[in-house]
Amino acid sequence: MKTIKILGSGCKNCETTAKLVSQVAEEAGVSIALEKVTDIAAIMGYGVMSTPGVVIDEKVVHTGGVPSLEQIRQWF
């Protein structure tokens, strides 16, 4: 199981990113634990200054916008 965190304030782009990640993980048959992190201090703790950010197993893999489906597929 992969642990995935969506970093952001809960804006539309953050919600879209969470939905896309869930969708692609399900299509790939990968079990995930999805967490939304909205605390600014926690987000900055990952070194993310532009949201949404995506963290997989404690490694930042994306920041600053909604990732493409192709990008997300590469993570799985």
The pLDDT, as a whole number, for residue 74 is: 96
pLDDT bracket for residue 3 (50, 70, 90): very high
Nearest CA to 8 out of 34, 44, 32, 56 is that of 44
Mean pLDDT across 4-33: 96
The pLDDT, as a whole number, for residue 15 is: 97
Instruction: Round the CA-based radius of gyration of the chain to a whole number and report it.
Output: 11
- DSSP structure class, residue 9: S
Indicate which residues carry an active-site annotation. Answer: 11, 14
Domains of the chain: 2-75 (3.40.30.10)
Q: What is the pLDDT of residues 20-62, one digit of tens each?
A: 999 999 999 999 999 999 999 999 999 999 999 999 999 999 9
